[in-house]
Structure 1
Amino acid sequence: MMNSFKYKNLKLSYLQGLAVILTTFLLYGCIEEIDLETENFESALVIEATITDQTETQSISLSRTFQFEEDGPSPETNAEVTILDATGTQYTFQESDSLGVYISTTPFAALPNRDYSLQITTSNGRTYESSSVQLPQSTSIDNLYTEKSTNNEGVKGVSILLDNSNPQGMGSYYRFEYVETYKIISRYSSDLDLQVISANPPQFELVPKTTEEEICYVTKPSTEILLANTNTLSEDQLLKYQIRFIERTDPVIAQRYSILAKQQNISREAYTFYETLQNFSETESLFSQVQPGFIEGNISSTTNENEKVIGIFNVVTVSSKRIFFNYSDIFDPEDGSPGLFLGDNCRLNSPDPRALVPLIQNNTAKFVREGTVEGDTGPYTVAPRICVDCTVFGENVPPEFWEE
């Protein structure tokens, strides 16, 4: 039976997060109980390596698995990372300011009908190599669109759907990612800021605000594994593939919303790898009595054939498409109002001047208006900073791609 371990989600990637579990699976076969410590830990190299057919600075991430009681993955630093193609061309990567992230020294794009392989030498002299891979056949996104819908739980919302087709294909494998950007408008706004002139006795001054704090833009990448294949379909096409479902009351669509969908054509080998990884990420699979064991990728150690390596080297074709919509573009007035950003956590109050001083000095409250809220005693009405200053959450400058 397996000794006790505990799983903790990570912010950086599925591979790094699931590596905690995968490393434990290397040693044991079933789960007896959940405890607070990791025992018999085995470190493994985690490799996230995907190069695309887009001429761009390519990126590869290296890290180490970590124990539950540790804060997170350790970056694998000072490694030598190269990609070789069948013509003998070598693409060199160097470590960026983000430790463990290696970027190509020159932009390049993967080309069709050409073999590519990944080679890594770590700082301790261990070497790793992938099998040779080629670009799969390319498929473009034909259409990205929205539909008002209801999910399986009966919740109303909007589905973001994708169509594609590949008349020349005989079955394609896809991985999807997306980056969503949405506008937020602060619950309260003012052209003035409140400054503390004297703490004792309390004295304040109203000054013109110098920073835009009312309208901001938040950008977030997807964190889930989205896969599809047409191998069993009569035609090599996807119709109404759901990239994202957003509940009607989700505040991300309360104002204006944009999503950039990215479609990667991947190999069957890569699809199988990500599908297995996806199964590990599901709660029922993580803690079931029969575990599927270590996920085999296409990267191995050339120093020690018994060493476990987590990851896969991918060469992919990419197609992307972006759409924008407002809440009113999808929903009718009878559907109801959009969800409130921050919910009910924006109560106005007028603290006594002595109590107001530390709130302003610590930037935990922001000025809304002069005057007193009923029941309070202070001369100024304030609200929690998060309800007045949207820069807590996003950027106050529209992204270059933004359209109104």
Structure 2
Amino acid sequence: MKRLIKIASILISLVIVHSCIEAIEFENITFDGNLVVKALITNETKKHTIELSRTIPIDSTKLNPEKNARVFIADNSGMIFDFVEINDGTYESTTNFAAQANKLYTLNIETSDGQSYSSIQETLPKTNSISNLKVGVEDNEIENIREMVIRVDSDLTSDEGKYYRYEYEETYKIKTPLWTNDELKIISDTKPYEVILVQKDPAVAGVGFCYPTEKSNQIFLTETINLGQDQVVGFPIRQIPIDNYRVGLRYSILVKQYVINQNTFDFYTLLDKFAEPDNIFSQTQVGNIPSNISNNKFPTEDRVIGFFEVSSVSEKRLFFNRSDYFGLDTPFINYWELIFCVEPIYPLVENALGQSPLIIALRENWSFFPVESEDVPPNSGPYSLLRTECTNCSKFGPVFPPSFWVE
């Protein structure tokens, strides 16, 4: 959502500066916050969510959620699906529902400043399912590396060609490089300062493994319109260098396949184009981004950024181990090799100024880790500390596997 807002802001600025010859300072441009809409309903029976915000200046990093709006979806049979704001700018349907074939859906938004917006009517495209997820080791000749490549196949249907969009969510297992069962607990952070060494509770701290989850941040599109049959075959959804820690132990990916219509395909195609830094200052202007939502009273003056998408979705999950493809001695770059794991420090419990460097360090991302006593320098504190990322992988993900995880 944040990337959509940022791109929208850049596009609006481009409209203002288009055809200007002299350099313009962006901070002097009058800025109008246009409504940004991220709305998707599918054939899944669930509570659907819609996100509303306003465009932000190019130099801004803070989101600007659209709060206190009335949001609802109406179909052509008279059904109304109301949405309620659950977080600033995030609206959730009050009931579970699923988009159905042969019905027309319209998104309606009434903002707190009295403006109303509506989408054109959208229908649910015909469904198609993922038939297979497969992974293989391939040569990337451009980067001169070898990669784990995950590819998607869809079912073969007798329908005409379709447009497809993909998302993924990956979860992988990592291991803490320097794990210890002990930790320092602060008893008193005021004089007299006191800490004690205690054993970690495995029910809370785990046993040194973590399970980060990351969502795709790219736009993946393909189509079968120009093919002789409606079937996606071998579409690459994820490429990971074989020495990457994500595929160092065990890896899982959930791929979602959305069947979309041509207007939605065109919208994401142009959105993806503007997401490329080299293409931001291209000749395409904001008016060419196809939105199906408009201001009911001022459709040309108050442009809406975003799209109301009605899609059919299917999903499939894949697991694999590194050992399925490589020997145990095949090296990879672990996560801790990419961070700043320095030599241990030995802070004093209390210094000459009456402060506690030990307690300050424990609260500033340092953790206990034992070292050999002969390596301790003179005039050191009683405990050795390392950066927490080196002794605890929970900075990167939960210490327990998610409910879907299988070994």
| TM beyond 0.5 | yes
* Number of the residue aligned with 2:391: 388
> C-alpha deviations, 1:201-258, integer Å up to 9, x for none?
8765311113315222111111111101111112211111000101122212222111
The one of 258, 276, 285 equivalent to 2:252 is 258
Give the 3 Å change call, closer, same or farther, for CA 383–124 of structure 1 in structure 2: same
* Number of the residue aligned with 1:147: 136
Bigger CA drift: 48-57 or 376-385? 376-385
> C-alpha deviations, 1:98-124, integer Å up to 9, x for none?
210100000100001111111111111
* Number of the residue aligned with 1:346: 341
1:398 aligns with 2:398: no
Gaps of at least 5 residues in structure 1 are 1-11
Q: Which amino acid aligns with 1:134?
A: T
* Number of the residue aligned with 1:181: 171
Q: Distance in 2 between matches of 1:265 and 1:188?
A: 46
Give the 3 Å change call, closer, same or farther, for CA 164–350 of structure 1 in structure 2: same
CA drift at 1:349 = 1.4
Q: Which amino acid aligns with 1:56?
A: K
Give 3-state SS (helix, strand or coil) of 1:26's partner: helix
Give 3-state SS (helix, strand or coil) of 2:298's partner: coil
* Number of the residue aligned with 1:318: 313
CA contact (8 A) 2:109 2:117 kept: yes
Q: Distance in 2 between matches of 1:310 and 1:14?
A: 12
CA drift at 1:298 = 0.7
CA contact (8 A) 1:82 1:118 kept: yes
1:230 aligns with 2:224: yes
CA contact (8 A) 1:202 1:357 kept: no
CA drift at 1:82 = 0.7
1:287 aligns with 2:281: yes
CA contact (8 A) 2:368 2:384 kept: yes
Q: Distance in 2 between matches of 1:175 and 1:278?
A: 12
Give 3-state SS (helix, strand or coil) of 2:265's partner: helix
Gaps of at least 5 residues in structure 2 are 350-355
CA contact (8 A) 1:57 1:106 kept: yes
The one of 303, 310, 330 equivalent to 1:308 is 303
Give the 3 Å change call, closer, same or farther, for CA 140–212 of structure 1 in structure 2: same
Bigger CA drift: 248-257 or 121-130? 248-257
CA drift at 1:320 = 0.2
Q: Distance in 2 between matches of 1:373 and 1:197?
A: 28
Give the 3 Å change call, closer, same or farther, for CA 224–34 of structure 1 in structure 2: farther
Give 3-state SS (helix, strand or coil) of 1:74's partner: coil
* Number of the residue aligned with 2:18: 29
CA contact (8 A) 2:82 2:93 kept: yes
Q: Distance in 2 between matches of 1:372 and 1:293?
A: 65
Give the 3 Å change call, closer, same or farther, for CA 391–35 of structure 1 in structure 2: farther
CA contact (8 A) 1:202 1:353 kept: no
CA drift at 1:388 = 1.4
1:157 aligns with 2:141: no
CA contact (8 A) 1:117 1:133 kept: yes
Give 3-state SS (helix, strand or coil) of 1:176's partner: strand
The one of 21, 26, 38 equivalent to 1:48 is 38
CA contact (8 A) 2:129 2:314 kept: yes
* Number of the residue aligned with 2:180: 190
Q: Distance in 2 between matches of 1:364 and 1:154?
A: 37
1:267 aligns with 2:261: yes
CA contact (8 A) 1:216 1:397 kept: yes
CA drift at 1:129 = 0.6
Bigger CA drift: 340-349 or 110-119? 340-349
Give the 3 Å change call, closer, same or farther, for CA 36–201 of structure 1 in structure 2: farther
CA contact (8 A) 1:194 1:360 kept: no
Give 3-state SS (helix, strand or coil) of 1:37's partner: helix
CA contact (8 A) 2:6 2:58 kept: no
* Number of the residue aligned with 2:125: 136
The one of 196, 209, 213 equivalent to 1:205 is 196
Give 3-state SS (helix, strand or coil) of 2:118's partner: strand
* Number of the residue aligned with 1:244: 238
- Sequence identity (%): 34
Q: Distance in 2 between matches of 1:369 and 1:50?
A: 52
Q: Distance in 1 between matches of 2:343 and 2:320?
A: 31
Q: Distance in 2 between matches of 1:90 and 1:109?
A: 13
* Number of the residue aligned with 1:8: none
Q: Which amino acid aligns with 2:284?
A: Q
Q: Which amino acid aligns with 1:364?
A: N
**What TM-score results when the alignment is normalised by the length of structure 1?**
0.90
The one of 76, 85, 89 equivalent to 1:100 is 89
Give the 3 Å change call, closer, same or farther, for CA 352–302 of structure 1 in structure 2: closer
Bigger CA drift: 261-270 or 338-347? 338-347
1:111 aligns with 2:105: no
Q: Distance in 1 between matches of 2:397 and 2:216?
A: 17
